[in-house]
Amino acid sequence: MRDHPPFPVEQFWGLFDRDDPEDCPIDHFRECENLDTAGFGLGVRTRDGIGPSQNVVAPLGRILRIHNYVMQTGYTYLVLILNDDDDGEIYHVINSITVLGPILTIAAMRDFKVVSYNGRAYITPFTSYTATTGLIEKGLQSDFLYVYLGDGTQARKAAGAAPTAGSLTIANDGAQNSDAGDHLFGVLYETNTGYLTAPSRFTLFNSNGTGFDFSAIPVSPDSFVVARRLVMTKVIVDYNGNTTGYQYFFIPDGRIPDNTSTVLANITVFDADLVEDASHLIDNFAEIQAGAAIGLYHDRLVIGATFTDISLAYVSFPGEPEAISQITGLVIVPLDGNPITHIQELRDIMYIFKRSKTVGYADNGGEPADWPFTVVDQAIGCPVHGIATVLDAGGASVDFLIVCSFNGVVLFNGQYVKPELSWKIQGFWFRLQRSDFRLIQIVNSSVVKKLYITLPDHKMLEADYSQGLDPQKIKWWPMRFDIQVNTVALVNTDEIILGSETRLATP
C-alpha cells in the first residue's frame, strides 16, 4: 500500500446506493446504518439514542399514528393506538405528563388524519381495503368526519341534523310591523363550533302587517347545540306548496341564544330587512363521510377518498369547515381506479394527489364544482402520509412541498423537480415494498434542516439537508431501532416523536 497515494476524506456525505457498488464515491458509504452527521456537518458519528417521551404511570402503547394538533394555546398531538380489544382509540397528548382521552374510539379505525382549525381538530378515520389495484386507503365504511374541541371531551360527528321535533307556531302581535302577505318560516340549530344546520319545521303564515310572536320553537336533544336561528322568506305570491323551493333569509333579531327557550316575541321585520341568505344551508350534508385525505384551501375544509367515492373531494364554504353543499361542493378528480391520497394548498392552488397522479385546482370565485383543473403529472403522486409536514404549516415549507413518491423523495413547486432529492439512494428507495407505501410518513424539521421518514419495513430514514436541498448535497442516513417504528411527528419545534407498537426494553 506504500505506493498508493492517500486520499483525504474531508467530509462524509452519507449513504450512496444506486444498485452498483462500483459507482459509490469514496466520501460516501455504500452501506451504513445508525449513523448521523457530526462535526459541523463534516464528520460522521453514531446516531442519538431514544427514550420514552411520556412521563406517566401507563404510557400509551401499540401506537399506530401520531399527528400534530395545533391549539390556540400551543402545539399538542393526537395519538392513535390499539386498545386491548384491538379497537382504534385516539388520545390527546398535551405534554409528557398530560394525556386526555380516549377522545374517539372506533373499532375498525387503523389510521386517521386531522386538520387544525380555530383551535378545533377535524378528524377523519380510515383504513386499508382490498381492491383490484391492491390495498387502497379510504374512509371507514358508514363512518364520518369528527370534530374535537381540545378539552378532553369526546369528539363528535361534525355538522348536524336539522330540527325534527316541535312545531313552530307563529302569531301576529298586533303592535309591531311587517310586510303583509304569506311568508314561510323555519328554524335551525347553531352548534358550539358555529355550524348552522339546515332549516326545517317550515310553517306558512299570513302576516296582517304587524309583527310576529314565535312559540313552540324546537329544542335540540344534543348538548352541543347552543342556539337556534329563525329564517323566513319574503312575501310569497301564489304559494305552490314547495317549502324548500323559496329563498330563505335570517331574521335579523331571530337568534335565540340558548337551547331551552321556546318563545320569541315582538319581532319586527320587513322584507327589506332580509339580507343574509340562508337558503344554501338546505343543501348541506348533515353528516360528512370519513375520508383518507383532508386539507384546507382558501379557508375551506376539503375531504376526499370516502368509502363510496374514492375520486371525489368535498369542499366546504369559506370559513365554515362543516358546511358542505351536496350540490356545489363536490370536486371530481379524474378517474383511474385509485383513491385520493393527499390534499395540499401551495401558491394559491389546491393540489390533489393520488398514488401516481397530481391534479391542481384553482379557485375562480365560483362554486367548487366549477373550478378549473390541470393534470400536473400523470405518473407521480404520493401515499397517504407522503408529504412532509412542518408543524402548523401542513405540508408547505416556504414555497415548495417535499413529496415521497414511488419515484423517490422529490421537491414539488408546482411541478416535480428532477433529479429527485433521493437520487443518491435510488437503489435503496426502489427496493422498498411499494404495496406498503401507506406506512411511509415524512416530517420536515426545518430548524435543524432534517427530514425524518418512516419506512415500510418499520425502520427510518433521515436526510440532513443543512448544506442545501440539493440531490448532491443532501446526506441520507438509514436508521434501525429496537422498536418497530410506525409513525413520526415533530413537536416543540425540533423534537422528534416516534410511535411504535412495541415498547423499549427496560435497561
Q: Give the pLDDT score at 504.
A: 56
The lowest-confidence range among 159-173, 189-203, 348-362, 415-429 is 159-173
Please check the confidence at residue 507 and state whether its pLDDT lies above 80. Answer: no
List of E strands, 140-258? 146-148, 156-157, 169-172, 181-191, 200-207, 212-215, 225-232, 249-256
Task: Give the pLDDT confidence of 476-486 residue by residue, as tens digits.
Answer: 999 999 999 99
Residue 140 CA, chain-centre distance (Å), reads: 15
- Tell me what the mean pLDDT of segment 38-60 comes to: 89
Nearest to 319 by CA among 295, 289, 298: 298
CB-based contact 272:226 (threshold 8 Å): no
Please check the confidence at residue 505 and state whether its pLDDT lies above 80. Answer: no
Q: What percent of the chain has pLDDT over 70?
A: 97
Residues in the chain: 507
CB-based contact 447:393 (threshold 8 Å): no
Task: Give the pLDDT confidence of 1-13 residue by residue, as tens digits.
Answer: 677 888 788 889 9
- What distance in Å separates the CA atoms of residue 383 and residue 486, rounded to the nearest whole number? 15
Please check the confidence at residue 306 and state whether its pLDDT lies above 80. Answer: yes
- What distance in Å separates the CA atoms of residue 305 and residue 310, rounded to the nearest whole number? 4
Q: Give the pLDDT score at 459.
A: 96
Helix (H, G, I), strand (E, B) or coil at 247: coil
Q: Give the pLDDT score at 319.
A: 95
- Tell me what the mean pLDDT of segment 301-306 comes to: 98
Please check the confidence at residue 392 and state whether its pLDDT lies above 60. Answer: no
What is the arrangement of strands in the sheet containing 264-267, beginning at the earlier edge strand? 169-172, 212-215, 264-267
Q: Give the pLDDT score at 21.
A: 85
Q: What percent of the chain has pLDDT over 90?
A: 86
Please check the confidence at residue 393 and state whether its pLDDT lies above 60. Answer: no
Amino acid identity at 14: G
Peptide bond connecting 456 to the previous residue in cis, omega within 30 degrees of 0: no
Q: What b-and-e string marks burial along 377-392, b requiring 16 or more CB atoms within 10 Å of the CB?
A: beebbbbbbbbbbbbe
Task: Give the pLDDT confidence of 67-119 residue by residue, as tens digits.
Answer: 999 999 889 999 999 999 999 999 999 999 999 999 999 999 999 999 999 99
Across-strand partners of 479?
460
- What distance in Å separates the CA atoms of residue 487 and residue 66, rounded to the nearest whole number? 6
Q: Give the pLDDT score at 1.
A: 63
Please check the confidence at residue 326 and state whether its pLDDT lies above 60. Answer: yes
C-alpha cell at 300: 375551506
Residue 3 CA, chain-centre distance (Å), reads: 62
Across-strand partners of 214?
170, 264
Element (H, E) at 126: strand 120-131
Average pLDDT, the chain: 93
CB-based contact 332:311 (threshold 8 Å): yes
Element (H, E) at 430: helix 426-430
Task: Give the pLDDT confidence of 229-242 residue by residue, as tens digits.
Answer: 999 999 999 999 99
CB-based contact 402:451 (threshold 8 Å): yes
Count CB atoms within 10 A of the CB of residue 270.
Answer: 11
Helix (H, G, I), strand (E, B) or coil at 248: coil
Nearest to 388 by CA among 463, 498, 484: 463
Residues sharing a CB contact under 8 Å with residue 277, sequence separation 6 or more, in sequence order: 247, 248, 249
Nearest to 473 by CA among 427, 407, 419, 428: 419
Across-strand partners of 313?
304, 331
CB-based contact 63:51 (threshold 8 Å): no
Q: Give the pLDDT score at 506.
A: 42
CB-based contact 247:277 (threshold 8 Å): yes
- What distance in Å separates the CA atoms of residue 123 and residue 450, rounded to the nearest whole number? 27
Q: Give the pLDDT score at 159.
A: 97
Residues sharing a CB contact under 8 Å with residue 337, sequence separation 6 or more, in sequence order: 131, 132, 133
Please check the confidence at residue 388 and state whether its pLDDT lies above 70. Answer: yes
